[in-house]
Structures are given as structure tokens and as C-alpha cells.
Amino acid sequence: MKKIISSILLAVSASSNLLLAQVENKLEETSLLESASAPIFYLPSSISYLGVTPKLMMDPAELKNIQEGIEDLKGVVGSPGKAPISTTAFAHSPCSSSAAMSGKVGSEAGAALTHDEAAEENSTNTFLEDEICNNIYTSCLAKVAAMSQSRSLIAGGNAEAALQEAKEWDAAEKKAKRDVDKSKRALDKARKEKEAAEKKLDSSKASIHGKAYADEAYYNFQVKELAEELADARVVTAEATLMAIEVRGTAQSAGAEADLAEAREEERAACEALEKATRNSSIASSEDAHSPFSSPNNRKKISSPESSSPLPFTPPRPPGSGLKSVEPEQIFASPSIPAATAVELSPSNVTFVEPLSSLKLSEDSAAQQRKEGAASKEKSVATFEAEFSEMIESAKTQAEETVATATAARENAEKIGTSAKEWNKAIEEAEIAEEAYAHLGGLYKTYQEQAAEHYSGAMLNTKRSKYNIELKKAETKKRSWTTEIEECREKKESLKKEKGAGEKAEPTAREKEQAEITKWKAAAEEAQQKETTATAAGKKEESSQWRGVKSALLGAIEQKRKAIEAEVSGKKELATSWNDIAQQNIQASEFFTKAATAYATRKTTEGQSWYNAGLSSSSVAEKNGKLL
């Protein structure tokens, strides 16, 4: 019988040694991959992400089963007399992250358990950090760079490598578009969770639910709010990644890469803020759990006169002193109120009434203030976002309409070819399109400036970068239409030369308006010089009139520009009103000029009359301007 048992044990020992040898071979392969100095695109995580079948990789589930089997064998036949084996397994995420989890298989189970707990605690943060680093754009860029190096080493592989590069970029673009959609869905989910946490916070009161419950609701709301900021930052990163892929190899590539780098840094900052808040929330929850007020049993001990509590306790007075006894069951009817109120309160017992009333009022007041402040802030932010969203969408629509009109005008002018009038119209429409995109870009910049009034910290940076890409698009299209205007003018000049130098081309409406503004500006400068001369000569009345001329002309220039902006925005009536006000100021400048001439010739009565007329006209212009 002993021989049979010895044979069985010998066989089991041999099998365990064989399994351990297999594990060592697998670990050597894994360590080679880990310690190799190859670029990131040769690592298993990058290979798996780029759709290539990984080689020399061990399935983490298989490795775990082998480890459990070895532990079972050790429990039966003991350790084979070798040093403990250290194993490392790489878990590859679908986002090309390489979040590593390591564990040691040894004879001491306590040490292995501690290491597993630490790995589990850090796995989420490591995953988030690596996901930011291993971006789709940078990973694909590294892959294509490797293919370019390989192309120079393989004869005749240029065409095949170029085709593979195109496939890689096409796949990366599809993945980036999918990530944009996924990140937006994640943002919607994070917003809903934050709203739920905010409702819980608003409804929680320490005097009713207990301090631990109220604190937990507050910490949970903070975490959910930062989680929403991280989700929003990831949307920005996903959009920046898609843009970097779409404009690669163009003049816009450098700007797109800079935007991507900025978005990734903001995402990293949001990730760190969330990690810190989560850690602080866990610490606070742990402290609340160990608080002497966290359970009814502890509160009962504190309320007892015999307990050695640090809280002062005043023994209840006898019934004859004006206080009524209260049954012990009533002490814990509301677990959030300290059990020291073991007697019913009355005006004669001010020791209990004052602190408890102040505590409840302060808690209720603080909760109400938080609720009102959060509601006011949310309403203000929602109004701000809604107003700007509406203005931006309206400006986009107007810009698209002006582009369609300008394009049609240019095509019509090219079709006719010999009509200076059509080229003037094409120039006019191109100028409107240029100003429409300038107006749209101005809205984006205004949003970035005013966002500081509603956001702060990482959320402010995220919101400011929200329209970075759209702003660059608007600026690019504005420059494009500026070039279009120059081309149309060259066509018009060429046509004029063909018809003869003596024939004068008809100016556009916008050119006429600019000519008027230039004329008024020159007149204002001349009035300034005359005012200075009259002041030096001691002629106060004459100096005052020239000052009125200058003021009226500058007002007319400003109102003419507002009229042009309104016309570009499609607000014809508003443009007409500003033009009328500008003409009123021009009339006022003429009256002031006549008054200055009269004062210069010592015609005081006539000068006073013209001054009154000019003052009346400028007052009407100012009043009408305020109504708009």
C-alpha cells in the first residue's frame, strides 16, 4: 500500500514540475516583450489595437487557471524546493490601453492578497491615464512611421505599403468617429447621474436624515460633477482626434495636433481631479463611519448620563420643576437628533433649547442656500449656453446663405464674362460672405471670454476649447473669401483694361460706403486741427463748434459701421435705422460748421442759432441710437 501511495505522489510531483516549467517558458516570452526596446507599435497592446493577431501572448484567464492549479498542487505535495516564481500578466483594453496588473505567486498567501487589492485599487486610474496617452491618432501615426521604415528595407514594397498606410488611416478615422459618438453618449449618462446626485443632495438634511447621509450625498455630488467634466473633456479629445486624422498632411495639421495635445492635457487634468475627489470622498466616508454619531447604538451611549462621553450632559430636572418626563422609546424616534434630549423641552430649560435650535436652523439654512445657489447657477449656465447656442446656429445659417448667394454671383459673372456690373455684384456678395464668417468667429471668441463668468478650473478650460475647431474653420473660410474678393477684383480690373483706360468701372455699394467713412474720418481730423488752433487763439465759442463737428462725424462713422454689420446679418430694417441716425449726425456736423464760421466772423447771433440747430440734431441722433 505504501508503494502505491509513493508512486502516486511521485507522479503528481512530476506533473507539477512540468506545469511550473511551462509557466516559466511563457513568462520568459512575456518578459522579452516587456523588456524589448522596440517602438510602441511593436508592443502587444498596439498590435492588438491595430487589428494584427498578437504573437507570443498568453491569455490572462489561462494564466490565472494555471496559477490556481499550481497553488492547489502546492497544498497537496508542497513546494518543489525552488524560489517563488514571479509572474506578470498584461491585460489589453479595447482602447489600446496597456493597464498592467501584477501579482506574485509565493508561499505567503497574505502578501499575494495585499498586492491584488492594491492592483485592483489602482487599475481604474492606470487605465484612464494610459487611455489618454495611447491616442488613436498617435498610435496610427507610429504604425505608419514603422511601415515607412519597413518600405525602404523591402524591395518592391512601396505600392503595397502605401496601400496599407491608407487602410490604416481609414480604419483610424472610422474608429475616431465611433469614439466621438461613444464619448457623447457617456457624457449624457454622466449628466444624468450628476442630476440624480444633485437631487439627492438638495433633498438631504442633516437634521432629518443624519449627518453621515448628508455628507455622503454631498461627496457623491462632487464626484458626479467631476465625472461629468471628465466626460465632457473626453468629447473634446475625441473630436480633436478626429480632426487631426481628417486634416493630416495639410497646412492645418500642425494646428490640429496642437489642439489634440491641449485637449489631452485637459482630459488628464480632469482625470486627476476626479481621482482626487474620489479619494477624498472615500476618506470622508470612512471617517463618518467611525464617528460616534454614525449609529443609533453610539448615540444611545452618548445620551446616557452614565457614559463617559466628552459631551456635557445636564441631568433632567424632576417633574415638579416644570419639565415632563419622556418615555425612553421617544429618545430614538428621530435618530438624526442627539439623544441628549431625554426630557421634553420647555421655556425653563434653556440649556437644551438654544443649541439644538441653532443647529437645526443653521443646517436648514445652509441646505436651503446650497439649493438656491445651485439652482441659480444652473439656471444662469443653462441660459448662457442656450443663448450662445442660438446665436451661433443663427450666424452659421446666415453664413451658409451668404456663401450660396456669393457663389451664384461669382458663377454668373464668369458666365457672362464681359459685364462689370455682374463682377461688382460678385465682389459685393463675397464681401458679405467674408464679414459673415468674421461675425461667426467673433461669436466663438466672445463665448470663450464670457465662459469665465460661469465656469472655473478644468471645466473652464474644457468649455473654452469647445469651439476651437469651429473657430479655426470660420477663420479659414473668412480668409478664403478674402482671396475670392481679390480674385473678383482682378477679373473686374482686367475687364476694365480690355474696354479701355478711359472707361471708369462702376463702384460697388460697399466701396461707396467705405469711401463715405474715409471722407468723414478726414473731415473729423480737420475739425480736430481747427479746434486746436481756435483754442490756442483763445476763441472759445469757435473752438466749441469745431469740437461739435468732430464729435458728430465720429458718431456718424460708428453708426455707419453698425449699419454695415446689420446688413451682413440680414437685418435690413436695423441697417436702415442706423444709416438714418448717421445722416442725422452728418447734418449736425454741417450745422456746427456753419456756427463756427459765424463765430469766426463775429456774427454771434447767427452762430448761436446754428449751434442750437446742430445741438438739436445731434441730440435726436443720440436718442434714436439708444432706442436701438
Q: Sorting pLDDT into bands at 50, 70 and 90, what band is 188? A: very high
In the predicted model, is pLDDT for residue 186 greater than 90? yes
Residue 414: closest CA among 405, 406, 423? 423
Q: Are residues 529 and 467 in the same domain?
A: no
Residue 100: closest CA among 123, 68, 75? 123
- Tens-digit pLDDT profile for residues 36-60: 444 433 333 333 333 433 433 445 5
Q: How many CA atoms lie within 13 A of 333 on its CB side?
A: 8
In the predicted model, is pLDDT for residue 384 greater than 80? yes
Q: Are residues 119 and 15 in the same domain?
A: yes
Please identify, among 257, 276, 299, the residue that sits at the C-terminal boundary of a domain: 299
Q: Can you list the pairs that 180-189 forms with residues at least 24 positions away whose Cβ atoms lie under 8 Å? A: 180/235, 180/238, 180/239, 180/242, 182/238, 183/231, 183/234, 183/235, 183/237, 183/238, 184/235, 186/231, 186/234, 187/228, 187/231, 187/232, 187/234, 187/235, 189/231
Q: Sorting pLDDT into bands at 50, 70 and 90, what band is 256? A: confident
Q: Is residue 192 assigned to a domain? A: yes
In the predicted model, is pLDDT for residue 25 greater than 70? no
DSSP 374-435: HHHHHHHHHHHHHHHHHHHHHHHHHHHHHHHHHHHHHHHHHHH-S-HHHHHHHHHHHHHHHH
Residue 95: closest CA among 169, 188, 30, 179? 179
Q: Is residue 38 assigned to a domain? A: yes
DSSP 282-320: HHHHHHHHTSTTSSHHHHHHHHSTTS--SS---PPPPGG
Q: Are residues 535 and 621 in the same domain?
A: yes
Write out the three cell numbers for 403: 456663401
Which amino acid belongs to residue 228?
E
The answer to whether residues 125 and 275 touch, using CB atoms and an 8 Å cutoff, is yes
As separate numbers, helices (DSSP H) first and strands (DSSP E) second, the chain gives: 19, 2
Number of structural domains found in the chain: 4
Q: Are residues 493 and 517 in the same domain?
A: no
- Residue 103: beta bridge partners? 87
Residue 288: closest CA among 340, 186, 358, 218? 218
d(CA 27, CA 85): 10
Write out the three cell numbers for 176: 475616431
d(CA 462, CA 240): 12
Percent of the chain with pLDDT over 90: 13
Which amino acid belongs to residue 579?
N
DSSP 426-466: HHHHHHHHHHHHHHHHHHHHHHHHHGGGT--HHHHHHHHTT
Q: Is residue 72 assigned to a domain? A: yes
Q: How many CB atoms lie within 10 A of CB 417?
A: 10
- Residue 88: beta bridge partners? 102
Q: Are residues 123 and 15 in the same domain?
A: yes
Average pLDDT score over residue span 602-619? 89
pLDDT of residue 120: 47
d(CA 77, CA 79): 7
Q: Are residues 17 and 126 in the same domain?
A: yes
pLDDT of residue 191: 92
DSSP 359-377: HHHHHHHHHHHHHHHHHHH
What residue numbers bound the domain in which 106 lies?
1-134
DSSP 43-84: SHHHHHHTTPPPSS---HHHHHHHHHHHHHHHHHH---SSPP
Q: Are residues 570 and 447 in the same domain?
A: no
More confidently predicted of 538 and 299: 538
3-state SS, 186-212, equals HHHHHHHHHHHHHHHHHHCCHHHHCHH
Please identify, among 100, 134, 168, the residue that sits at the C-terminal boundary of a domain: 134
pLDDT of residue 373: 66
d(CA 40, CA 33): 11
Q: Can you list the pairs that 607-615 forms with residues at least 24 positions away whose Cβ atoms lie under 8 Å? A: 607/541, 607/545, 611/544, 611/545, 611/548, 614/545, 614/548, 614/552, 614/588, 614/589, 614/590, 615/548, 615/588
| DSSP 8-state assignment for residue 249 | T
Q: Is residue 382 assigned to a domain? A: yes
Q: Is residue 117 assigned to a domain? A: yes
**Range name among 188-197, 247-256, 483-492, 499-508 with the lowest pLDDT average:** 499-508
In the predicted model, is pLDDT for residue 603 greater than 50? yes
Which amino acid belongs to residue 357?
S
Q: Are residues 387 and 273 in the same domain?
A: no
Count, residues in the chain: 628
pLDDT of residue 230: 93
pLDDT of residue 9: 57
Instruction: Determine which helix (DSSP H) or strand (DSSP E) holds 527, and give its type and residue range.
Output: helix 509-536
- Residue 105: beta bridge partners? 85
pLDDT of residue 86: 39
d(CA 253, CA 250): 5
Q: Are residues 287 and 385 in the same domain?
A: no
Q: How many CA atoms lie within 13 A of 531 on its CB side?
A: 16
CA distance readout (Å), 82 to 20, 113, 457: 10, 21, 55
Q: How many CB atoms lie within 10 A of CB 95?
A: 19
d(CA 446, CA 437): 14
Q: Is residue 305 assigned to a domain? A: no
Percent of the chain with pLDDT over 70: 57
CA distance readout (Å), 371 to 97, 201, 217, 361: 40, 8, 13, 15
d(CA 443, CA 122): 43
- Tens-digit pLDDT profile for residues 266-278: 999 999 999 888 8
**Range name among 3-7, 234-238, 371-375 with the lowest pLDDT average:** 3-7
- Rg (C-alpha) for the chain, rounded Å, is 40
Q: Are residues 419 and 534 in the same domain?
A: no
Q: Is residue 148 assigned to a domain? A: no
In the predicted model, is pLDDT for residue 231 greater than 90? yes
Please identify, among 80, 103, 134, the residue that sits at the C-terminal boundary of a domain: 134
Q: How many CB atoms lie within 10 A of CB 245?
A: 23
**Range name among 110-124, 479-493, 577-591 with the lowest pLDDT average:** 110-124
Q: Sorting pLDDT into bands at 50, 70 and 90, what band is 286? A: low
Helix then strand then coil, in percent of the chain rounded to 5, is: 80, 0, 20
In the predicted model, is pLDDT for residue 627 greater than 50? yes
Q: Are residues 103 and 191 in the same domain?
A: no
Q: Sorting pLDDT into bands at 50, 70 and 90, what band is 239? A: very high
Distance of CA 165 to the CA centre of its chain: 32
More confidently predicted of 497 and 429: 429
Q: Is residue 312 assigned to a domain? A: no
Distance of CA 510 to the CA centre of its chain: 39
Statement: the pTM of the whole predicted model exceeds 0.75: no
Q: Are residues 530 and 612 in the same domain?
A: yes
Q: Sorting pLDDT into bands at 50, 70 and 90, what band is 363? A: low
Do the strands 100-105 and 85-90 form a parallel or antiparallel pair, or are they unpaired?
antiparallel
